[in-house]
Structure 1
Amino acid sequence: MSFFTSLSGLKNAETDLRVIANNIANAETVGFKKSSVQFADLVATGSATDPRRSPGIGATIAGITQDFVLGPLEQTGRSLDIAIDGDGFFALSNPFSTDVSYSRNGNFRLTAGGDVEDAWGNRLQAFPVDAAGNPTSTVPGDVAVPVTNGAGATLANVTINVRGIVTAAYSDGTTQPVGQVALATFPAPNGLRTIGQTKFQATGDSGAAVFGNPGIGSYGEMISGALERSNVDLAEEMVSLLTAQRNFQANARAIDTATQISTTVINLRQQ
């Protein structure tokens, strides 16, 4: 039995090492959220078992959770780099499948057609606004920036202010609000599924996305010209790495000891 108990410890230590390694590998990934592993013990008992004589049968993984604490903000100076100072996720729509994913990575770009999208072509979702910049709907959609205004002037620049208002500036000096960035929150964000590219997907455990306006209620404000860096603390991860390594070595030594005991017993029987 000691073999299987120590084997469960080896597997758990290996999982812990993989999670820590993934955190370290993404220490410079914009919008990345570190993960941590929670373990639970396994105890083999029955109603007739003496509770004072239950050695247990090892450990198992209770869950791998994301830590959504805010990462450090880095100034970039790009008008389409935006960070969320507080709660919420950017909503991104795949133009082909229309699937919506969620991210804290605010590195966006403007296409020739006037779409605001991320590096993988997913389009930023925003509420439509009137001429004064006030939202006219609670249903977000793709940001569509006109490349020319009514007077025929060409687009010169696009900015996003602290309220998330996307404003287009034209060569004739005029400006026009074209949308307000829609932020999404979830009843249980730890239930979100990671799908790569610093994106998350809603699940039954997370609940459906609840959209709101930046700077109102629990929704964070927009910081233009900045990006949220990874919230991985390398010093903390190195300490966790050493601890996981020690756990792995200790369980391996326990298996080695059990093997030696088994070998000794077998040799006694053969004498």
Structure 2
Amino acid sequence: MSFYTSLSGLKNAQTGLSVTANNIANAETLGFKKSRTLFSDLVVGDSPKMQQGIGSTVQSITQNFGMGPIEQTGGALDMAITGDGFFAVKNPATSDVSYTRNGAFTVDDSGFVKDGSGNRLQIFTPTQNPATDLPVDCQLPSQSTPPVTTPPTPASPFAGVSVGLDGSVKVSYADGTNETIGSVALATFPAVDGLKQTGSSNWVASGVSGAAEYGLPGSTSLGSVKSGSIERSNVDITEELVGLITMQRYFQANAKAIDTATQISQTVLNLRT
């Protein structure tokens, strides 16, 4: 029995080491959220006075969505959320929507604001109601011609873009005029820790997290958008290294227990011979 008890501890330690190693590996990944491993004990026996522990198991691997450090970049389309919420980004090929805290956005040849994987940032246009409407792709005007709007904007080349704390996306033209084309859409969830990781600092909704609830930055429980900044990983290297040492000792202790049980078994066998 002691072999299997200690073996469960070895397997748990291996899982804990993998989670810690993944945290360390993503210490420089923008918008990354660290995870931790939670264990629970295993017991057998019906009588409260005769119950025996038979090891442990991994109860869950939970994500910590605490805010990471904010780094100033100066880029107009670099955005950080100071508070709760996620940027919504849509895959143009599949229309699948993901959610991220990585606000390092750029513009493609068609004027769409996208992340590093080509997913398009979602915004609410001035005519939309965030309480009832779904956000749409954020597209900046062409470098040579202004967008078609009502009323029409002056026939002047596109000059630049800026994003306000309230998420408003404002484009400016060479003649000095400007126009607000929409506001960045932020999403929140009934159970954030139920989001499913998909890689690239992206998450998707699951049955545990519940459906996304959209809103404007600064409204209700949503944070503000800080342009010219990005959110770094919330991994604390010092904390993870201490956790790495703890898991290593946990592994060594269980391995030692197996070694001791082996020696006892060998001694018993020698007595019989």
Report the TM-score when normalising by structure 1. Answer: 0.94
Change (3 A) 1:136 1:183: closer
| 1:75-99 deviation line (CA, Å, top 9, x unaligned) | 0000000000000000010000100
SS at match of 2:99: strand
Equivalence map 1:1-271=2 (5 Å):
1-46=1-46, 49=47, 51-129=48-126, 138-147=133-142, 148-149=145-146, 150-270=153-273
| 1:74-127 deviation line (CA, Å, top 9, x unaligned) | 000000000000000000100001000000000000112110000110000111
Q: Distance in 1 between matches of 2:132 and 2:169?
A: 15
Which stretches in structure 2 are left out of the alignment for 5+ residues? 147-152
Shift of 1:269: 1.6
Letter in 1 for 2:93: F
Q: Distance in 1 between matches of 2:52 and 2:25?
A: 38
Q: CA RMSD in A?
A: 1.5
SS at match of 2:209: coil
SS at match of 2:272: helix
CA contact (8 A) 2:112 2:138 kept: yes
Shift of 1:265: 1.2
SS at match of 1:167: strand
CA contact (8 A) 2:80 2:225 kept: yes
Among all aligned residue pairs of Structure 1 and Structure 2, give the percentage whose two residues are the same amino acid: 56
Which stretches in structure 1 are left out of the alignment for 5+ residues? none
CA contact (8 A) 2:156 2:173 kept: yes
Aligned residue in 1 for 2:150: none
Letter in 1 for 2:157: T
Shift of 1:135: 6.7
Q: Distance in 1 between matches of 2:36 and 2:22?
A: 10
CA contact (8 A) 1:129 1:136 kept: no
Q: Distance in 1 between matches of 2:54 and 2:117?
A: 46
Q: Distance in 1 between matches of 2:42 and 2:59?
A: 11
SS at match of 1:91: strand
CA contact (8 A) 2:130 2:215 kept: no
CA contact (8 A) 2:217 2:224 kept: yes
| 1:218-263 deviation line (CA, Å, top 9, x unaligned) | 0000101000111111111111111100000000000001111111
Q: Distance in 2 between matches of 1:137 and 1:120?
A: 28
Shift of 1:52: 2.7
Letter in 2 for 1:142: D
| 1:14-39 deviation line (CA, Å, top 9, x unaligned) | 10011001111111111000000110
Letter in 1 for 2:137: D
